[in-house]
Amino acid sequence: MKIALIANPCSGGQKGKKVIPEVERQLQEKKIEYDLYITRYHRHAECILEDINVGDYDALVSLGGDGTNFHVLNALLKSYKSGKIPALGMIPVGRGNSFARDLDIRLTRDGISAVVRQNTRAVDVCSFTHGKERYYFVNLTGFGFVTDVARTAAKFRCLGDLSYVIGVLIQTVGLSFHDMTLDIDGKQVSGKNCFVEFCNSRYTGGSMLMAPEAKIDDGVFDVVVTGPLGRLSLLATLPKIFKGTHGDNPAVRFFRAKKVKVTTTPPKGLLPDGEIFGTTPTEINIHPKLVRYLC
């Protein structure tokens, strides 16, 4: 087996840089042939995959977090047009590593073990439109409060995990709602809205069970719609996501879909696989078992 190892040294607050030598040592010990490509800037993974012959590899393995995997996935699906699509793999060193959990990969050693075992699982991929372009995600994307928190937290990135807490507090103080219309497989859901998540897998932010019933290979994605709610109700509901009990709040509704058309007033930013990218209006689609992941 030969893999392309696309490593993000900045992932997990520079954890990636520390982990790379140990991962290389273990791959060599297990006699896994690999080429190492280190990302130097945001979205560099896409440029790397444009410059290499993807067909030379049995798998493309990202060493990083959900964002690194997002860029590898999109580069693969946009550039590789013929032949057998290589498998994808994840060696998690990011802060969240949400999607990897659905592959039973929680630690760095789990990701290495998946590479060594070479077992794969066919996985659904979701797409969203941004202008005339189509992009892909495997974890989730959302808009509203969740994206606003992520954008605020990014300004305090130097504070690590505390940045998210600061983002939640700032956005809760200035809490506001937007008008939204979702066409969910032909059924309309509209009204004032706090946030929406389109979930291919169960987790977000690492261990938060945003969509407890989601499966990565069932041919549909789960839609979590949270309507208007007071500040205290919001703060009381957010911790429940860790247990997947946020649906106890009547403002939270769950749907399953194959296609959703989204419009909002005003336009709202998207958060695909933890990346702040894209905006409404958009269309979300499912592509059943489009890729294979090492698991």
222 contact partners, CB below 8 Å, separation of at least 6: 198, 199, 211, 213, 214, 254, 255, 256
Answer for the pair 280, 263: CB distance below 8 angstroms, yes or no. yes
Locate the domains of the chain by residue range.
2-118, 137-289
User: Residue 82, Cα to own-chain centre: how many angstroms?
Assistant: 26
Answer for the pair 94, 68: CB distance below 8 angstroms, yes or no. yes
SS3 state at 191 = strand
Fold (CATH) for 137-289? Tumour Suppressor Smad4 (2.60.200)
List the helix and strand counts (H, then E) for the chain. Answer: 8, 16
What is the residue-level pLDDT of the chain in tens, covering all 295 positions? 999 999 999 988 888 899 999 999 999 999 999 999 999 999 999 999 999 989 899 999 999 999 999 999 999 998 766 667 899 999 999 777 899 999 999 999 999 999 999 999 999 999 999 999 999 999 999 999 999 999 998 888 778 768 888 989 999 999 999 999 999 999 999 999 999 999 999 999 878 899 999 999 999 999 999 999 999 999 999 999 999 999 999 999 999 999 999 999 999 999 999 999 999 999 999 999 999 999 9
- Residue 42: DSSP 8-state: T
Which pair of tokens denotes residue 162? 């505390």
Pick the CATH number of 2-118 from 3.40.50.1360, 3.40.50.10330, 3.40.50.300, 3.40.50.1110: 3.40.50.10330
